Structure 1
């Protein structure tokens, strides 16, 4: 399957208010492997940035003044994504902006979802990590993707980071026989309880062993998202008072 990991940068948060796309970055995957093919361009938005938007991207009207307008790259961009599945973090945002740009060129250009499927990696992350932060930075940290060089938002860099995070987020499902992220958790877990006549023996665990154990679990989670250990709630045992 051909997938395109896509990100955009914009002059503000709402295309309905007239904000425009200033950067597009795409990374191609085929059968879950990077092909080395990318699409990247800066765009002249023909409008001002909203307050704060320039600080996020580091882009300025002066830098973008001699860059092509969206109309000049539209056909090349559409040819790159045509027929693929787009992987986008918070897809409604990027697709909304791209559809707005296409609508300015005429109905003959259609809409993004008419040309490509869309997979929202933010929704996948929310399903996998409910109640947790699932921004791109948070995912990179959780899944072991190095984003230390990400000082500003940039479409191509963010698409490359998202590609790594997405592959880690969805890794291991087909390889171990699960068809969906929730399939592994739907397997039957048999819990056995044994009654004992006396108090349970106490086991003292060294701090170094605890650290090594947590590091091993983190490595497993970085590859598969979670591990069997996460199915169980381990209750801490209160320390006994000295005799």
Structure 2
């Protein structure tokens, strides 16, 4: 039976600024895209990262946030030069974005300026907004990336300024922690019960311990691993308020 692939792309952008009077993206451009691939909740070490020449000045207020200057961007490609590679990278994935309306608005604006057939990334991807997810988990609390990183113990020491690839990496760890609760294990009804038994120790009806021979080694957790496990379970309880099982 083929395993279903769950492909997610954690994405962030930096821009020349925002429009305060109308659509936030209008007359502004993307200057950096950072995207990290996760498949079945594991990092693949595949990413998409580029700086872009916006053909307009970077606002001072935006420069103070990300530190990306006009001089640095002078020789970088424009969006239309990288659009096909970018679309191919994210196509068919679930985009994970913090405050998704911001980034999606800018990306769609860039696509419309190109006047091509694709003008909305929702046509090729699904989008999950981690800000909306965080507000459900932590109503009434600060839910920006810094606050969530602190809450979930994600290291942000390298984040002296905003950067699309670095922020996408941080968001990746935050998202996996936010959604890292326990899952149900559904065994196939067709699975032979003897196959399930052969790799485990169990008690017979008289409570005598029996050991089934197996070629698979059993590795027991050490004290440090047990402590880390209990700490992780407590984090699930503190943040998600839900556990499928509990330690007594």
| TM superposition score normalised by structure 1 | 0.74
Residue equivalent to 1:234: none
Asked if 1 retains the 8 angstrom alpha-carbon contact of 2:53 and 2:76, the reply is yes
- Cα distance in 2 for partners of 1:221, 1:106 equals 51
Root-mean-square deviation (Å): 2.2
Residue equivalent to 2:118: 109
1:83 paired to 2:96: no
Post-superposition shift, 1:220? 3.9
Q: Write the deviation string for residues 204-229 of structure 1: whole angstroms up to 9, x where unpaired.
A: xxxxxxxxxxxx99754534524469
Greater shift in the superposed pair: 127-136 or 14-23: 14-23
Asked if 2 retains the 8 angstrom alpha-carbon contact of 1:221 and 1:227, the reply is no
Relative distance call for 1:141 and 1:175 in structure 2 (3 A) is farther
Asked if 2 retains the 8 angstrom alpha-carbon contact of 1:140 and 1:147, the reply is yes
- Counterpart of 1:153 in 2: which secondary structure? coil
Relative distance call for 1:110 and 1:29 in structure 2 (3 A) is same
1:160 paired to 2:169: yes
Match of 1:51 among 56, 60, 64: 60
Structure 1 gaps, min length 5: 178-215, 230-243
Post-superposition shift, 1:96? 0.1
- Cα distance in 2 for partners of 1:105, 1:37 equals 26
Post-superposition shift, 1:37? 0.3
- Cα distance in 2 for partners of 1:221, 1:12 equals 40
Relative distance call for 1:221 and 1:140 in structure 2 (3 A) is farther
Relative distance call for 1:101 and 1:228 in structure 2 (3 A) is closer
Relative distance call for 1:228 and 1:120 in structure 2 (3 A) is closer
Residue equivalent to 2:235: 222
Residue equivalent to 1:67: 76
Post-superposition shift, 1:174? 2.3
Structure 2 gaps, min length 5: 1-5, 187-228, 244-248
Post-superposition shift, 1:110? 2.7
Q: Write the deviation string for residues 162-182 of structure 1: whole angstroms up to 9, x where unpaired.
A: 0000000000142589xxxxx
1:7 paired to 2:12: yes
- Cα distance in 1 for partners of 2:139, 2:158 equals 27
- Counterpart of 1:39 in 2: which secondary structure? strand
- Counterpart of 2:117 in 1: which secondary structure? helix
Relative distance call for 1:98 and 1:226 in structure 2 (3 A) is same
Q: Paired residues, what number?
A: 192
Relative distance call for 1:135 and 1:218 in structure 2 (3 A) is farther
